[in-house]
């Protein structure tokens, strides 16, 4: 069981399985939404994902076609990145995790849009955009 | 002049003066608030900061005594922190900037609370909490 919660504690998630495919995303939308150098997400199976409390607090913003980003309406914590075409997957912002997910980010994506004030110094693969784009 | 804006574009601000003390904060409150590995922020003089558009869209949440973090209620973008105990300065998350601020984060703070899934690999000084004065 991996638990997650927002800063004010109103929204709580429980993930029964494992997380996979953790990536640091440097796209301008992630940087804006998080107000940070980059966002880091990993995927949970929707079947393993449960909103333990605060469902009514979750605000949704459609940041591009078919993509919904969620945040806590009370404290602003960034929570999820959801693809409307893939409801079986929930991408969770790792910053809200209360437990160690075990998984570690293994790549940087959208590095072409990276913040000028942030330098990547690790050895993970860097992709200009999204490597799996079809 | 530095410009910043939220993800949906409803809120815009301008900073007329220099940013100070840019750093990366790994405390659990910053990680939760941003939903990120760490928060990159700088200090901005309140007198240099101006909301250009959408100030009414900013929701403020008091995350610890006297510290209020502001975000856009439409898109959730993290925009500014203000302090009841220090009215002359704001805390500015760098992620919402549209322009290069010139300054670069100069240290990591609250590394004792760093996310277990994130490793710091740069050469900046790392402090377990605030650096000694």
Reading the block at residue B43, the tokens are 């200090």
- Predicted pLDDT of residue A133: 56
At B34, is the secondary structure helix, strand, or coil?
A: helix
Q: What is the mean pLDDT of chain A?
A: 97
Residue A123 lies in a domain: no
**Does an H or E element contain B24, and which?**
strand B20-25
B7, B31, B40: residue with CB nearest A95? B31
At B88, is the secondary structure helix, strand, or coil?
A: strand
Residue B76 lies in a domain: yes
Q: What is the pLDDT of residues B30-61, one digit of tens each?
A: 999 999 999 999 999 999 999 999 999 999 99
- Predicted pLDDT of residue B27: 98
The range of the structural domain enclosing residue B10 comes to 2-22+39-107
Where does the pLDDT of residue B85 fall: very low under 50, low under 70, confident under 90, or very high at 90 and above?
very high
**Yes or no, beta carbons of B76 and A5 under 8 Å apart:** no
**Gap between the Cα atoms of A73 and B61, Å rounded:** 10
Residue A14 lies in a domain: yes
Residue B128 lies in a domain: no
Residue B121 lies in a domain: no
Residues contacting A65, CB < 8 A, separation 6+: none
Check which CATH number belongs to the domain holding A6 and give it.
Answer: 2.170.150.70
Q: Please check the confidence at residue A56 and state whether its pLDDT lies above 60.
A: yes
User: Mutate which of B76, B91, B126 to test chain A, going by most A C-beta atoms within 10 A?
Assistant: B76
The ipTM assigned to this model is 0.96
Residue A79 lies in a domain: yes
Check which CATH number belongs to the domain holding B80 and give it.
Answer: 2.170.150.70
Residue A55 lies in a domain: yes
Reading the block at residue B45, the tokens are 């003089």
Residue B119 lies in a domain: no
- Predicted pLDDT of residue B133: 79
**With contact defined as beta carbons under 8 Å apart, do A89 and A46 qualify?**
yes
The range of the structural domain enclosing residue A12 comes to 2-113
Q: Please check the confidence at residue A68 and state whether its pLDDT lies above 80.
A: yes
Residue B96 lies in a domain: yes
Q: What is the mean pLDDT of residues A49-59?
A: 98
Q: How many domains does chain B have?
A: 1
Integer-rounded Cα radius of gyration of chain B: 14
Prediction pTM value: 0.97
Residue A13 lies in a domain: yes
**With contact defined as beta carbons under 8 Å apart, do A52 and A12 qualify?**
yes
Q: What is the pLDDT of residues A6-37, one digit of tens each?
A: 999 999 999 999 999 999 999 999 999 999 99
Q: Please check the confidence at residue A134 and state whether its pLDDT lies above 50.
A: no
Residue window 16-55, chain B: list those with CB within 8 Å of chain A: 22, 24, 29, 31-40
Percent of chain A with pLDDT over 70: 99
Q: How many domains does chain A have?
A: 1
């Amino acid at each position: 069981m991996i638990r997650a919660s927002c800063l004010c504690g109103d929204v709580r998630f429980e993930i029964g399985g494992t997380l996979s495919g953790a990536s640091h995303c440097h796209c301008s939308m992630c940087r804006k939404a998080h107000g940070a150098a980059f966002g880091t997400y990993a995927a949970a199976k929707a079947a393993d994902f449960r909103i333990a409390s605060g469902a009514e607090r979750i605000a949704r913003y459609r940041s591009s076609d078919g993509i919904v980003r969620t945040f806590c309406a009370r404290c602003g914590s960034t929570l999820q990145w959801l693809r409307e075409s893939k409801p079986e997957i929930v991408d969770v912002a790792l910053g809200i995790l209360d437990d160690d997910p075990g998984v570690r980010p293994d790549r940087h994506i959208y590095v072409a849009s990276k913040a000028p004030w942030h330098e990547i110094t690790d050895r993970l693969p860097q992709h200009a955009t999204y490597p799996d784009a079809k | 002049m530095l410009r910043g804006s939220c993800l949906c574009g409803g809120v815009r601000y301008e900073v007329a003066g220099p940013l100070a003390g840019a750093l990366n904060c790994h405390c659990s409150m910053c990680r939760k608030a941003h939903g990120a590995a760490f928060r990159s922020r700088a200090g901005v003089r309140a007198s240099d900061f101006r909301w250009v558009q959408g100030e009414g869209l900013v929701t403020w949440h008091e995350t610890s005594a006297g510290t209020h973090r502001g975000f856009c209620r439409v898109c959730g973008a993290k925009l500014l922190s203000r302090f009841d105990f220090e009215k002359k300065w704001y805390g500015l998350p760098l992620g919402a900037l549209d322009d290069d601020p010139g300054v670069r984060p100069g240290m990591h703070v609250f590394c004792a609370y760093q996310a277990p899934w994130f490793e710091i690999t740069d050469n900046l000084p790392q402090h377990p909490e605030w650096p000694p004065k």
